[in-house]
Amino acid sequence: MGYGINKRPADYLQELAQRLRNVRKELGLSQAELADRSGVSLGSLKRFELSGQISLESLLKLMHVLDRLRDFDEVLKPQENLKNIEKLFSDKTRK
C-alpha cells in the first residue's frame, strides 16, 4: 500500500483481492472450485488474487457465487445533499 493518506486505485485492488481470497478460503473453496462455479476462468481468478487485476464482470460473478454481490449496493450510490437538509433547519426558512 502507498504511504499517502489517501488510498490509490491499486491499493483498493489489492485489498479486494485479499478479501475475496479470505472469503473463498473461509468457505472452503479452492480457486478451481470458485472459478468453475462462477464461470470465471481459473487464470483470471489466480491473476486477481495475485495482482488485483480483474474485469468488473468477472468480479461480480465471483461475488455472486460467494453470496456477497449485495456488497456493491453502496458503490456509486447518490449522496444526500446536506445543504438541502440544512435548509430545513435554518432560521431563515422557519417562520
Specify the higher pLDDT residue, 2 or 17. Answer: 17
59-83: pLDDT as tens digits: 999 999 999 999 999 888 887 766 6
- Provide the CATH number for the domain formed by 9-89 in this structure: 1.10.260.40
pLDDT for the residue numbered 58: 98
Contact between residue 20 and residue 72 where contact means Cβ atoms under 8 Å apart: no
Q: Where are the domains of the chain?
A: 9-89
Answering whether pTM is above 0.85, one says no
Is residue 53 pLDDT above 60, yes or no? Answer: yes
DSSP result, 20-83 = HHHHHHHTT--HHHHHHHHT--HHHHHHHHHH----HHHHHHHHHHTT-GGGGGGTTPPPP-HH
pLDDT over 70, % of the chain = 81
Q: Average pLDDT of 20-49? A: 98
% of the chain with per-residue pLDDT over 90: 68
Provide the terminal-to-terminal Cα distance of the chain, rounded to the nearest Å.
53
